[in-house]
Amino acid sequence: MLTDRQLLILQVIIDDFILTAQPVGSRSISKKDEITHSSATIRNEMADLEEMGFLEKTHSSSGRVPSEKGYRFYVDHLLSPLRLSNQELTTIRQAFKDRMMEFERVVQKSAGILSELTNYTSIILGPEIFETKLKQLQIVPLNDQSAIAILVTDTGHVEHRAFNIPVEIDHPQLEKMVNILNDRLRGVPLVKLYEKLQTEIYDLIEIHTDQHEHAYSYLQAALLDEHQTKLYIGGKTNILMQPEFKDLDKVRSLYAIIEKENEMADLLRSGEQGVHVRIGHENPFDAMQNCSLITARYTLGNEQAGTIALLGPTRMEYNRVISLINVLSKQMTETFRGWY
């Protein structure tokens, strides 16, 4: 459908625009080394490419700018798999070298690297923690009124919550209950915890504890938590550096979206395996019309998975960014594999 020459020209134009953020004119293209034709020829081809919907003009006598269709084609067909620079590779390797042991730390660091290396905003969705399984429940009394319940999951995630101790429950009873709970709840996914508590555990407590009503309501308070999947964001202010966001209103509305954790999480969840690119209107939110979102999944050894994403203008360095996110998601998966 497109001639080789058109492919070449389209590629060169988009490459140039990605670099400069300026509409690309026929003359500047004809001067490139890889182009042997005159500006007039380029103009003709550009007119054709525009007619086909790959390019746009900002006004009648301006240079050309890639359309969303253009970017889509570019991403699908024109990306030459780029080797990351040594500098980039060493940055990543360096960061993962000192054996980090905690999920949070790895993710935080990854988000940092990604945004630092790209100057875009990175967003990482943690694994769905409500699917992780309880490893151990611990209750630490602080004083005679309050205590802290600590949940440790099989992925090493730690959640804690403080609550009031009803006066009716004394220390030995507490220990007893914790033991019962640990016996019965170990290996149960967090999301099922509350349910189990209401069925099996209730009866058990009734048998073993004097003040079972009090004990029960207090356990409810301790265990009923939201277990919300967390979103890690890096380089939020990088958005300000992109020329397409010199309009503060756009920045504001974009920030508004990013801050809606639930919607953002849903958006990231939807991706399948591999790197995935959403360009402009392919994104569900109005405020992201001028943005592209690159996502990739990472896994945590078992079937658990999360998403790593990068948000930038549609004029994005797809080449580099895709390679980077690919490498990083694999590196994360690799790091986690050893743990579980």
Partner DNA sequence: GTTAGCACTCGAATAAAGTGAGTGCTAAAT
Partner DNA sequence: ATTTAGCACTCACTTTATTCGAGTGCTAAC
Positions that interact with DNA (CB under 7 A): 22-28, 36-41, 43-44, 46-47, 50, 57-64
Assess contact for 292 and 316: CB atoms under 8 A.
Answer: yes
Neighbour count for residue 113 (Cβ, 10 Å): 22
Question: Based on CB atoms, which residue is closest to DNA, 63 or 126?
Answer: 63
Question: Based on CB atoms, which residue is closest to a copy of itself, 90 or 164?
Answer: 164
58 binds, among DNA, a copy of itself, none (CB under 5 to 8 A by kind): DNA
For a copy of itself, the binding residues in 225-244 under the rule CB under 8 A are 236-237, 240-241
Alpha carbons 20 and 263: distance in angstroms, whole number = 32
For a copy of itself, the binding residues in 243-262 under the rule CB under 8 A are 246, 248, 251-252, 255, 259
Alpha carbons 339 and 330: distance in angstroms, whole number = 15
- The β-bridge relationship of strands 276-279 and 291-299 is antiparallel
Question: Based on CB atoms, which residue is closest to DNA, 132 or 290?
Answer: 290
Q: Directed axis angle between helix 212-223 and helix 171-185, to 10°?
A: 60
Select from 21, 13, 8 the least CA-distant residue to 313.
21
Question: Based on CB atoms, which residue is closest to a copy of itself, 39 or 166?
Answer: 166
The answer to whether 217 contacts a copy of itself (rule: CB under 8 A) is no
Question: Based on CB atoms, which residue is closest to a copy of itself, 57 or 252?
Answer: 252
Question: Based on CB atoms, which residue is closest to a copy of itself, 26 or 333?
Answer: 333
For a copy of itself, the binding residues in 119-158 under the rule CB under 8 A are 135-136, 138, 140, 142-143, 145-146, 148, 150, 152, 154, 156, 158
The answer to whether 220 contacts a copy of itself (rule: CB under 8 A) is no
Q: How far is the CB of 75 from DNA (least distance, A)?
A: 23
SS3 286: helix
23 binds, among a copy of itself, DNA, none (CB under 5 to 8 A by kind): DNA
Q: How far is the CB of 340 from a copy of itself (least distance, A)?
A: 7
Q: How far is the CB of 294 from a copy of itself (least distance, A)?
A: 23
According to CB under 8 A, which one of 130, 194, 285, 339 is a site residue for a copy of itself? 339
Six-digit token string for 186: 């170990």
101 binds, among DNA, a copy of itself, none (CB under 5 to 8 A by kind): a copy of itself
SS3 126: coil
50 binds, among DNA, a copy of itself, none (CB under 5 to 8 A by kind): DNA
Six-digit token string for 154: 């099989």
Q: What is the DSSP string of 271-282?
A: --SS-EEEEGGG
User: Degrees (nearest 5) of the Cα angle 285, 106, 232?
Assistant: 25
Neighbour count for residue 187 (Cβ, 10 Å): 9
3-class SS letters over 36-50: CCCHHHHHHHHHHHH
Q: Where are the alpha helices (DSSP H) in the chain?
A: 4-20, 26-30, 39-51, 68-73, 86-97, 103-118, 171-185, 190-196, 202-208, 212-223, 248-259, 261-269, 318-337
According to CB under 8 A, which one of 160, 171, 330, 337 is a site residue for a copy of itself? 160
The DSSP call for residue 25 is P
94 binds, among a copy of itself, DNA, none (CB under 5 to 8 A by kind): none
Identity of the amino acid at 103: F
Question: Based on CB atoms, which residue is closest to DNA, 25 or 189?
Answer: 25
Q: Residues in the site for a copy of itself, rule: CB under 8 A?
A: 99, 101-103, 135-136, 138, 140, 142-143, 145-146, 148, 150, 152, 154, 156, 158, 160-164, 236-237, 240-241, 246, 248, 251-252, 255, 259, 339-340
